Structure formats: structure tokens, C-alpha cells
Structure 1
């Protein structure tokens, strides 16, 4: 069998920097996430662009955007990192057991996925005991840093110094508004219709919001660190602000005091929030690595994009 010439491939570290910058649309935020210096991230991207002979990002003093080539290569880069993590997970599994109990924190918005993973892991690795723990971003970050949770499914920005894999995206397609308000029955909502309304932004959306939208909404943003989306609907219903909402939230929450008009195409279109599996590679047990692989398999089957 002819082997591919892996020697000509760029290092995984540089590919990981590309994915981090693409998900954050910021070199500085990517550096924090990767626990690297910003110059080191910039050098990795420049090195990768030289090796590939393509430009991956358009950079200005105000924003970073993917080029068409960068958008095309991003899913391949994400798949490559997931395969590398799966390789490590399988190697750890073969190395033998190192522990049993796993505390698995997860954002309540993706609870269905967490439950599916726990069921699948119970079938495939019956020796692994999984404790499910619903936790919003601040709680999951604290538990990972303290070591009380071994693994978490959480939204970007991801805590620095930890491994991240199995990334997936939730499209932001609707706007949460008070029922009975002027926008509740709108067929679609455009950017100019938000003028005069305070805006509540999920943390995962704020870190990926294009620079032009961030500048346009800056004066109206009442909060940009919302991590409990279901809880934030109480603020929306009370008239404290409008909130861009992922499609998954509109499909799982039914409240008579909340309306979900769709966001219009164009200036508010193509918004999304990034989620991923976060864990400590240095202290991962065999059961943790089995859970990582199980999440990757579940996402492939669900085809989350």
C-alpha cells in the first residue's frame, strides 16, 4: 500500500492555531484559548500560509475574517484535529485502565447530546461510570480548572491550557423577543430594526461576532456574557433586552411570553455559536479518552454542523 507523504504536511500545532483563530476571529482570543503568546499564534498562521501557499485570513486593524480558501479548508482542519484526538484516545484505551469515575459537565442546551453520549458509553465501556452534571459556561470552566469535572461540553471561548476537540456549531437563526411586542410577529428581523432596543448576547456568539456587527451593535449591547440561554429568556420576557437565539433553543423551549421571529438574511445572517469537548490531556484517564471518542462518534452520526 502506498503511504501518503506525511512529511510534507503542516504540523498539527499550526493547524490547531488556524482552527482556533477561525473559531474566535481573533488572534488574541485564540492565543488565550491555546495558552500561547499572540506572536506565536501569528507566526504559526504565517508559517501555515507559506506551506499551503494560500491566504487563510484577511486582517485589518479592526477585524479578522476567513478568506474563501480559509472557509473551504476549515472543516478539513477540524476533521484532521478530531482524527488526531481519536488516535490518542484509542492509544490511551489500549494502554489499560487508569480510573473509573468521570464527571461529565455539559451545557444544558446540548443535554440531549450529553445523554446520548452517556448511554453509548455505558454500552461500549461498561466499566466507565459517568456522572452527568449540567453546567453553564462559568460553572463548567470552574469545575474543569478545579479538577472536579473531567470533561465538559461547553461553548467558546474555551478555557486556556486544556485540550479541545469534537467542535460543532449551532446556527443562530432567531431573535428572542417579548410576546406581544412590535417584533414578535415580524416575518424576519433585520439589523436596523434593533435600533433603540437593548441586546443580550450569548457569550459564544459575542466571541465570533463579525467586526462590522460588533461595531453596529456595540452601543446597544446590555450584556455580552450570557451563558444561561434558557435563564436569559426571563430577562427577555421582562423587557430587559432582545437576544439572538440558536435554532436549537427555539426548538426546545416553548414559552407563551416569548416570541422567536427569524433573523433576516444578509446583515444578520450566517451567525453561529461554537461548542466543543474540553478536557485535560495531561490527566486524562482511559475512561475519559473513551468518552472523548464516544462524543466524536455521536457527532459524526448526528452530523452536527
Structure 2
């Protein structure tokens, strides 16, 4: 038969804070030092010890004008006080662990270029009540859409084209207004570049170019043979593509966000005069895996875009 546990119908005993004051004064043998450690006044510390002594019906300290000593009863009770404080700390630590493990988690994939936005969303959700944990996964378009299809992630920030089977919201644009060129190339000295000046250059391009999208619009402005150098199905990691520019493989239309964030001695960013070139991004998710936390994520993304 399970042993019964004590039950306090009215008074569970002295406050744990007063017991903590007792243990701290016993450690320092000084009311003033104990009070300073807890950011209390010395009179408040003395009142806490007085309350505890009255509650227990015994004196815990022998006090003179020159020193503070534990009484015999204080010495006997100190181990019990320490045990209560340790048990309380263990209870709080375990409750915090359980609360953390019970918190919902959103797995969000994002392209590296919008990393600052992903971080801002994560901070916003961590601050809300109740908090939502966000597990960030850097992933390009193909990897993110495949992960969404498998259910490995909750949502993804994707560039167009958005797969038809996904729901999208919070669309935004990233301006592409520069061309990355090798630092030693004569074209790097120009103050501005127009598409007709690129006839003899290869331009790094993705294989997937949505009709009407930024890549297709820019490709339509280029003239001359062999002007495209396809580097991948999609260009998601612009920072890595700059290595190809530095190596002389081709030139790269570059978003303004990257121009502001990256400084390289081997690559120069020249303003590009090619009309209104913009890459469109948005938050995408599968309608099969909608949850309350996902809807909170949608709101957090919208708020993060509005309050830059």
C-alpha cells in the first residue's frame, strides 16, 4: 500500500524566502552581507529572520553588537533548511525543463539571403506568451519544397515560383540592382552597367526561370551568343555564387541585401540599369499540416515585414 503523504489543510509552514534568508545569514554570519546579496535592506533581513523565529518558536542566532552566531537550534535546523532550498531549486529546474519540452516547435526553412528576417521571426516568437520555439533550417528552393512535401518542416520562405499545392502568404520583394563582377575586370570600373554592355560576358543563371520572373526578365534583355552560364536549377546561395564570379566563371545579378552585407576584395558590385528587377519571396506551407502555431508564424512573419 502506498504510504500517505503529509497534508497541510491551512498553514504549510514558514515562507521559503524566509528560510532562504536564514540559510544565507548562516553562511555569512552577517545580516548586512546576506541582505546585500539578496538586494534587501538590513532591517528587511532582520524582519525575515524574526518572522521565521516566531513561526518556529526558537531563536536561530545569538546576536551581539560585534558578532552573529548560530544558536544550537539554528545549527540543528540548518541542514533541513538547505535541503528544502535544494528541493525547491530542483523542482523549479524540472518544471522549467518540462515546460520547455512541452512548448510547440515550428521548423522553418529559409534561403540564406533572408537569414536576418528568419532570425527576427524567431526572436519575435520566443518573446510571445506562450512562447513558440523555431528550429531554423537553411535550405534552397528544391530542398525546402521537398521537405514540405515530406512533412519534415512546418513552413518555408521560398522564392517564386510557388508550387501550386502549397499555400502562401506574406509575400515580399527583394530588389536586384547590382551586378557582381571580378574586381580586376575592366567592367568593374564602370559607374553603371546596362544589359547591352554585357554581350561578351557570361551571366550566371539558374536553370529554373519562371516566365515573368526576375531571371527570365533579365535574360530577355541580354544579347549575344553564350551569354548564360547555368550553375544550378536554382540560385539560392548568392554568397557561394560569388566565388564563381571571383573565379571568372561569370557575372551575377545580385540583390541589394547582399551588397549591403558582404564585403569582398575579389568581387566588385556595379549598379545595374536593367529596369525594375525584383525577386519575390513568401511564406509557404502545406494545407495538410495547418496548426495554430503555424498561423501564429504567419502573423509573426507579417509583423516582422511591417516593422523592420
| TM-score between the two structures when normalised by the length of structure 2 | 0.61
Distance in 2, Cα, partners of 1:251 & 1:275: 19
In the TM superposition, what is the alpha-carbon distance from 1:128 to its structure 2 partner? 2.0
Residues 128-179 of structure 1, C-alpha deviations (whole Å, 9 max, x = no match): 2211111122221121111111111121112230111100001111001111
Matched, 1:118 2:122: yes
* Corresponding residue number in structure 2 for 1:215: 220
Distance in 1, Cα, partners of 2:254 & 2:246: 14
Query: Are 1:105 and 1:149, in contact at CA under 8 Å, matched by a contact in 2?
Result: yes
> Which structure would you say has the larger Rg?
2
More deviation, 157-166/212-221? 212-221
* Corresponding residue number in structure 2 for 1:291: 297
| TM-score between the two structures when normalised by the length of structure 1 | 0.61
Distance in 2, Cα, partners of 1:150 & 1:212: 32
Number of aligned pairs? 202
Structure 2: segments with no counterpart, 5+ residues: 1-101
* Corresponding residue number in structure 1 for 2:263: 254
Matched, 1:154 2:165: no
Residues 102-139 of structure 1, C-alpha deviations (whole Å, 9 max, x = no match): 11111111111111111111112434221111112222
> How much is the aligned-residue C-alpha RMSD, in angstroms?
2.3
Residue 199 and residue 301 in structure 1: after superposition, are their counterparts in 2 closer, same or farther (change >3 A)?
same
Give secondary structure in 1 for the equivalent of 2:204: strand
2:253 pairs, out of 238, 241, 244, with: 244
In the TM superposition, what is the alpha-carbon distance from 1:289 to its structure 2 partner? 1.0
Structure 1: segments with no counterpart, 5+ residues: 1-97
More deviation, 213-222/112-121? 213-222
* Corresponding residue number in structure 2 for 1:282: 288
In the TM superposition, what is the alpha-carbon distance from 1:190 to its structure 2 partner? 0.6
Distance in 1, Cα, partners of 2:205 & 2:293: 36
Query: Are 1:125 and 1:290, in contact at CA under 8 Å, matched by a contact in 2?
Result: no
Distance in 1, Cα, partners of 2:163 & 2:262: 28
* Structural mapping, 1:56-95, within 5 Å: none
2:149 pairs, out of 139, 142, 145, with: 145
Highest RCO, 1 vs 2 (Cα 8 Å, sep ≥ 6): 1
